[in-house]
Amino acid sequence: MRKKKKMVYPTLENVAIAAIAAEGKGLARIDNFVVFIDKGVPGDVVDAKIIQKKKDYAQAEIVQLIKPSDKRCTPFCKHFGTCGGCKWQQVKYVHQLEFKQQIVEEAFLRIGKMELPNIEPILGCEETTFYRNKLEFTFSDRAWLTREQIDSGASFNKNALGFHVAGNFASVLQIEECFLQDERVNTIRNAIYQFVIEHQYSFYNLKFHEGLMRNLIFRTTTLEEWMVTVCFAAPEMDKIEALMTFIKANFPFITSLNYIINTKKNDTIYDQEVITYHGKDHIIEQLNSVRYKISPKSFFQTNSRQAKRLYDIVKTFGNFSKDDTVYDLYCGTGSIGLYIASECKKVVGIEQIPEAIEDATFNATLNTIENAAFHAGTCEDILKDSFIEQHGIPDIVVVDPPRAGLHEKVVQVLLQVAPKRIVYVSCNPATQARDVLMFSDRYTVVRCRPVDMFPHTYHIENVILLELKN
């Protein structure tokens, strides 16, 4: 079979980047033809090489920065550009917030066919580095080498502990420093890497599913509790014991030290046994007066400090009273429902992951919250007439769905029961705008506030308040 010839496109010269587009790329127009430019910043003038061309648009990358935008800054991480995270480091934070607000507004204009009334200023992060409470690193025997490393002709260690490279999942970039989580994560990770290298532990191969060392997961809380979980691919107990002893001895501040032996082909741990080697089998986070148990498998907002500020917005928008029955849909571990429980008569939470419901129920007991109950199953399956009759018609509904947005059946049920207010928390303004449009005949958008949970990325949370029309 004849190999398809790779297209070679000309370099575009002196291209002015005018705006930010989807996935945080710069947008330029050349004779009504749209070009999306990776790492481009509005105000840049660049020479750009087209790497993919379609009928109506092209994807390109910068080959030369002719005139930098005044919105541009120098990235602070040496891994920027190769690592797939923190893709907006080249944009000043104040302008990141401007662009994120624009993304929300444009999603509602383009998809929701509406102009948002009185959109409130985006709530930025007070801490723009070391803000995450969870990171997962991968061991691999296929270290990603930069072009400079390859061209040097030098010999490099092929074992890496770091992040998958964007667009090349099989390869892992060796991470020496990361600005996403507490600085001590770098110290622990680098120490573990040196230990397994010196003791000749094998690193995992994704293609052949061989090698011992697989994943390393860190979780932290604002209460200074630490969880470290090491994932191995085989029950080589002598080596497991040696490494866990090393971690325990050198980092005594770790609250919960665990390991998992995952022999299956994918990295998910939700169906795996977690063995607690030292300390507790969980850590505790606290937002205001509410405490949350976090286990190795728990879902929790990955920016704790900003999560509290997000939940405060939910509380303000909801304007709950002691007479209100509140449904918390897609409730996860009940973090929002428990946070607002003291403001209302009762909270009814629904989440499809049974382990999350177990955590939510535990957290209710931990906080002696007696007016919150949580139920396992999908919202579209559970929200039936019998369920609503049993738990009461909701006065207010809080929804925090995954990126895909609300299931159409859920929208139809909410339109039928007609709560007086719906507080819609979304991590994807595009699907949120689509869903809000389905409510538009019966509900009015009263308030909207974007929230930045992830600085130096193009991801954005948005909170919408819908009120029932008279």
Spatial neighbors of 4 by CB under 8 A, at least 6 apart, are none
Q: Other CB atoms closer than 10 Å to residue 434's CB: what's the count?
A: 17
Residues in the chain, how many? 470
Residue pair 336/423 in contact by the 8 Å Cβ criterion: no
Cβ burial of 53 (10 Å; 0-12, 13-18, 19+) is: middle
Residue 194 sits at φ, ψ, to 5 deg, of -65, -40
User: Which residues sit opposite 52 in a β-bridge?
Assistant: 59
Bridge-based pairing of strands 290-294 and 325-329 is: unpaired
From the list 195, 425, 154, 146, the residue with the least C-alpha distance to 311 is 425
The answer to whether residues 143 and 158 touch, using CB atoms and an 8 Å cutoff, is: yes
| Buried/exposed code over 264-274 (b: 16+ C-beta within 10 A; e: otherwise) | eeeeebeebeb
- Cα atoms in the Cβ-side hemisphere of radius 13 Å centred on 88: 29
Q: One of 77, 178, 344, 427 is an active-site residue; which one?
A: 427
- What stretches of 31-159 adopt beta strand conformation (E)? 33-38, 45-53, 57-67, 134-140
Q: Tell me if 461 sits within 8 A of 425, measured CB to CB.
A: yes
427 catalytic, yes or no? yes
E strands along 194-321, which residues? 213-220, 226-232, 256-261, 275-279, 283-287, 290-294
User: What is the rounded CA–CA span in Å between residue 45 and residue 41?
Assistant: 9
CA dihedral 71, 77, 80, 86 (to 10 degrees): -70
- State the sign of the Cα–Cα–Cα–Cα dihedral 369, 375, 380, 385: negative
Count of other CB atoms within 10 angstroms of residue 427: 18
3-state class of 172 per DSSP?
strand
Name residue 216's beta-bridge partners: 137, 230
- DSSP 8-state secondary structure symbol assigned to residue 27: E
> How many whole angstroms separate alpha carbon 341 and alpha carbon 290?
10
Closest of 267, 286, 277 to residue 228, by C-alpha: 277
| Catalytic residue annotation | 427
